[in-house]
Amino acid sequence: MRIHREGKKIIMLAAAVVFFVVLLLLLFVHQWTWLHYLFVMALVVTALLVTSFFRIPRRIFTESTSDLIAPADGTVVAIEQVYERNYIKGDCIQVSIFMSPANVHVNRYPCDAVVEYFKYQRGNYFVASYPKSSDLNERTEVGLLLPTGQRILLRQVAGAMARRIVCYAKEGEHVKQNQEMGFIKFGSRVDMFLPLDFPISVSLQDKVKNGISPIAEISK
Q: Which of 109, 103, 118, 96 is closest to 182 using CA atoms?
A: 109
CA distance readout (Å), 47 to 32, 35, 131, 142: 22, 18, 31, 32
Best CA proximity match to 94, nearest among 146, 157, 173: 157
Contacts of 63 (CB under 8 A, 6+ apart): 177, 178
Question: Is 188 annotated in the active site?
Answer: yes
* Active-site residue, selected from the candidate residues 96, 133, 188, 213: 188
Q: Do 197 and 157 form a contact (C-beta atoms < 8 A)?
A: no
* Cβ count within 10 A of residue 212: 15
- Core vs surface per residue 109-141: b (16+ CB within 10 A) or e: bbbbbebebbbeeeeeebebbbeebbeebbbbb
- Please list the active-site residues: 188
